[in-house]
Structure 1
Amino acid sequence: MNLRILKKLSARAAPYLAPLGDRRQQFLSEKHDNYHGLRIRDRTCWDRSRCHATYRGHGDEIVFDTRAGYRVVMRPPSHPLKGTAMVGGMSGYYEPEWDEDAAWSVLDGMVRDHFCDWDENGPTPTRRIRSPSDVFRCADEMLAA
């Protein structure tokens, strides 16, 4: 998934959230102001920047040298595109903090949780959900029930 697909899926998922019981605030993301909390594996939209010559990288980062002699680091993006449908609200008791997610990830989690049987061994899926169209089909069934 890339950021453009996330924006389109979030726009499509946002109307489902309120009828399914998510009462948090819905809003559109601002540029470099919000966090989506997903792992974006499409490297065409990763953030690129120059780094020190001795930097080796951490986690999912990719470090390489260019032909011009610079060292560049590529990181997965942590910010969604401007205008991505987001869901957020305050969470916590003594020191509440703002918590936000992309609308797509919230709907995907709600659908996968609904179509699971929970027992002492953990969750067992009752339906095979492999694609975004499966998630939206299951969400329609949840609304119809």
Structure 2
Amino acid sequence: MNLRILKKLSKRAAPLLPLLDDKRKQFRAERQDSYTGMIIRARKHWERGRSSHPDLFNDDMLKRPARDGKGGWIYMTPPSHPLKGTIMVGAVSGYYEPEWDEQTSWEALECIVRDYFCDWSEDGPTPTRQFRTPSDVLRGAHDIVADRK
């Protein structure tokens, strides 16, 4: 999945969330202001930069020596921000130290649908339905809404 597809799927998921009793606030992401927990594997969208300190890199980054003769390292890391305009859901959680918690509407819908189609036992969750593609998740959401009517 890339950031563009995430934005389109979030747009499709947003009207389904209130029907599935997700009452969190919906809003559009601002540039470099909102965060996503999805791992974006399309390297075209990875953030790039230069550093002269090779010990600052972690395992999810790609690094290589700079080839322009100026020294240092060129690094790439998966994005942590969705595209501007991606529909997000968020709410304040916590009691003594409340914090803002947010995710894309696609992440929220996928979590609700996968949890609904699981049998919970002492051995752990057992999925009752397979979700291989985004259309399977959307179909599952429509089935949940139809069951509640």
TM-score, normalising length: structure 1 = 0.96
Post-superposition CA distance 1:16-66 (Å, at most 9, x none): 001100000000000000001111111110000011154462020011123
Unaligned 5+ runs, structure 2? none
Question: What secondary structure, in the 3-state scheme, does the structure 2 residue paired with 1:18 have?
Answer: helix
Cα distance in 2, alignment partners of residues 68 and 107 from structure 1: 45
For residue 10 of structure 1, what is the aligned residue in structure 2? Answer: 10
What pairs with 1:26-37 in structure 2 (closer than 5 Å)? 26-37=26-37
Cα distance in 1, alignment partners of residues 117 and 16 from structure 2: 16
Post-superposition CA distance 1:44-95 (Å, at most 9, x none): 1000001115446202001112321342111110000000000001000111
> Post-superposition shift, 1:128?
1.1
Question: What secondary structure, in the 3-state scheme, does the structure 1 residue paired with 2:31 have?
Answer: coil
Relative to 1, partners in 2 of residues 1:68 and 1:11: Cα closer, same or farther, differing over 3 Å?
same
Relative to 1, partners in 2 of residues 1:138 and 1:57: Cα closer, same or farther, differing over 3 Å?
same
Structure 1 range deviating more: 34-43 or 62-71 = 62-71
Residue identity opposite 2:40 in structure 1: I
Cα distance in 1, alignment partners of residues 40 and 60 from structure 2: 10
Unaligned 5+ runs, structure 1? none
| Runs of 4+ deviating beyond 3 Å | 53-56
Residue identity opposite 1:99 in structure 2: D
Structure 1 range deviating more: 95-104 or 49-58 = 49-58
Residue identity opposite 1:42 in structure 2: A
Q: Quick check: 1:47–1:77 contact (8 Å CA) kept in 2?
A: yes
Structure 1 range deviating more: 50-59 or 28-37 = 50-59
TM-score, normalising length: structure 2 = 0.94
Cα distance in 2, alignment partners of residues 4 and 131 from structure 1: 16
Question: What secondary structure, in the 3-state scheme, does the structure 1 residue paired with 2:136 have?
Answer: helix
For residue 42 of structure 1, what is the aligned residue in structure 2? Answer: 42
% identity of equivalent residues: 55
Residue identity opposite 1:110 in structure 2: I
For residue 126 of structure 1, what is the aligned residue in structure 2? Answer: 128
For residue 77 of structure 1, what is the aligned residue in structure 2? Answer: 79
Cα distance in 1, alignment partners of residues 133 and 18 from structure 2: 22
Question: What secondary structure, in the 3-state scheme, does the structure 1 residue paired with 2:19 have?
Answer: coil
What pairs with 1:81-100 in structure 2 (closer than 5 Å)? 81-100=83-102
**Cα RMSD after superposing both structures:** 1.1
Residue identity opposite 2:9 in structure 1: L
Residue identity opposite 2:10 in structure 1: S
For residue 52 of structure 1, what is the aligned residue in structure 2? Answer: 52
